[in-house]
Homo-oligomer: A and B are copies of this chain.
Amino acid sequence: MAQVIADRRDVDFVLHEQLEVEALSKHEKFAEFNRKTVDLIVSEARNLAIKEMLPTFKLGDEEGCTFDKGVVRVPESFHKLHGLFMEGEWIAMCDDPEWGGQGMPATVALAAKNYFNGANFPFTLNTLLTHGAGKLVETFGTDEQKQLFLKKIYSGEWGGTMLLTEPEAGSDVGALTTTAVQNDDGTYSITGSKIFISSGETDLCENIIHPVLARIEGAPAGTSGISLFLVPKVWVNDDGSLGEFNDVVCTGIEHKMGIHGSATCSLTLGGKGQCRGTLLGEVNKGMRAMFVMMNEARLDVGMQALGCASASFMNALNYARERVQGRHLQAAGKDAPPVPIIQHPDVRRMLLTMKAYTEGIRSIMYYTGFCEDMIRVSGDAQEKARWQGLIDVLIPIAKGYASDRAFDVCNMGVQMFGGYGYTREYPQEQLLRDCKITHIYEGTNGIQAMDLVGRKLGLNQGQAFRDLLDEMNKTAADVKEISGLEPMASTLETVIERLEEASLFMAKTARSEKMMTAFAAAYPFMEVTGDVVMAWMLLWRAGAAARALEGGAKKKDLAFYDGQIKSARFFIHSLLPVTLGKIGAILAGDGAVVEIAEDAFGSK
């Protein structure tokens, strides 16, 4: 059977030949995770994804979620899936076994998620947020909070959410108006309305634990006056038994372009004045807690985008090999037989673009997970800080840039099927619709670009970004030694140099009186940084493939390795010149975007 969701050979290639993840098992923390175990985990995730999740993909979209008098029902088929997820303990893959986690390397967990997200990410969204809520409890909770909630959450028995957005507080979280008043027993009474809450209400679990951002009466305005609270849907008594329903009411769900299997809820807290919660972490430190969780959440969104891209690419590749239409361009005579469309040059261009993007994004994601693992095994504080800096710089790329390119892949994925791609008969249009949300939630991609320029570029006095450039240059220097790859490596070096120039220009301009112009170029800057990171990953892959070929690869691997070199060549020679053009435009620093008067955008 043809590969679906993700090319297993490519997943293994990144794990074992690019990142050499087995080396992590030399560390006590990951001692169990030798190659055999890693492969077993990926195989199990893949099986579950293909056999159980993929068949629910279209069902979930068509059935959608329903809302009736405060009750939300998820697609019927999701109930069985949720059971299988709990059974396989897939919710807390990397977490502390003490609390029910599996303690596996993040890199490996991402490979598993690649399959889950590609099979049906609207389903996984539910468990994702559950895990995020658990992580908040694990990181900031008191012993009591951990004892009461954590195992139930990490197992999936109870759901978890994140109550952040309000109608007038979207990208500007600091504008929120939900309030908290301390009660005599130390709990807080919470009052407010929250929107866009994924899985805010569900019939999958008997209880849901809502981390809620709210402002304690009298706290400062803006983000520095926000605290975090744990608000259970059903009150949990001190002995762990369930008490009364808390005053949290779902008032409706959104009708959306995609991710129909995920209920996006509006919740009213304390409508009857009876909503209770407990403080999670410190007073007025809610935003800081959110920021701790943000990297993981944003990486997960990038993974959802990768899932869509990866599935769309696999479907398109299989279709292009089977669909017979039109003669070969160089066919002799009009009577030449029609050929599979993979033989047409424009189809090949789309396929190679989809391949390079999908594989490049895969490497970016797994590498970011790998950096997390390196923090966990490193004994040296400076080393840890270095890896953390790399993660921080890569997150806007892994979320913002990657989700944009994934959407491009899904768009081509529709195009590859012609008229059929626009119909619901094939999964391509749903993947495009589902993928679109990844540009928006967990901070729009515009916010990611601001984050890159406003926070990450200057992080540790610019050291984090320089470390990224160093890593890229190291790979380029290494691959330059490989016969045949020198031109690609040199080109990448040139482009890295130009990126550095652009980064210095951006950092300087962002602190000058022309700061508006700098931030108007934040998005293009995120795009060029992403392009260079993508090229780096593809060159790294090409280097590993070339060395494998030099070392006498198995016959069955020859085509795969050649494909790695071709992807890099295509990206570096055909797409990086466009990046250079974009860097040129950034450096030119034209101010039209800033200078145009509001009235001049168009008539009122």
Contact = CB atoms under 8 A, between A and B. Distances in A.
Contact of A422 (B437, B516, B604): B437
A15 to B, nearest CB: 15
B570 A592 contact: yes
A231 interface: no
A349 interface: yes
A342 B601 contact: yes
Contacts of A31: none
Given A321-B598, A566-B596, A569-B592, A441 B419 contact: yes
A246 B577 CA distance: 58
Contact of A600 (B441, B516, B560): B560
A600 B594 CA distance: 46
A436 B257 CA distance: 13
Nearest to A341: B171
B566 A590 contact: no
B348 A596 contact: yes
Contact of A585 (B313, B335, B425, B573): B573
Contacts of A592: 352, 566-567, 569-570, 573-574
A25 interface: no
Interface in A499-523: 515-517, 519-523
Interface in A567-604: 567, 569-570, 573-575, 577-582, 584-585, 588, 590, 592-604
A601 B352 contact: yes
Contacts of A195: 419
A377 interface: no
B601 A345 contact: no
Given A516-B345, A584-B577, A7 B603 contact: yes
A602 B355 contact: yes
Contact of A346 (B519, B566, B573): B519
Nearest to A2: B604
Chain A contact patch, size range = 35 or more
A372 interface: no
Contacts of A567: 592
A138 interface: no
Interface stretch (A34-42, A181-189, A444-452): A444-452
Contacts of A8: 603
A9 B603 contact: yes
Contacts of A600: 559-560, 562-563, 566
A66 B517 CA distance: 51
A334 interface: yes
Nearest to A320: B601
A555 to B, nearest CB: 11
A221 interface: yes
A121 B522 CA distance: 35
B346 A522 contact: yes
A256 interface: yes
Contacts of A599: 559, 563
Contact of A165 (B258, B419, B601): B419
Contacts of A424: 254-257
A411 B411 CA distance: 11
Nearest to A343: B598
Interface of A: 2-3, 7-10, 165, 168, 170-172, 175, 195-196, 221-222, 254-258, 264, 313-314, 317, 321, 324-327, 329-330, 334-335, 338, 342-343, 345-352, 355, 407, 411, 414-415, 418-419, 421-425, 429, 432-433, 436-437, 439-441, 444-446, 449-450, 515-517, 519-524, 559-560, 562-563, 566-567, 569-570, 573-575, 577-582, 584-585, 588, 590, 592-604
Across the A-B interface, the 8 shortest Cβ-Cβ residue pairs: A581-B581, A563-B600, A559-B599, A573-B590, A257-B429, A345-B520, A570-B592, A345-B519
13 contacts: A221-B334, A256-B429, A345-B522, A348-B594, A349-B521, A352-B592, A407-B411, A414-B439, A419-B440, A422-B437, A563-B599, A577-B585, A578-B578
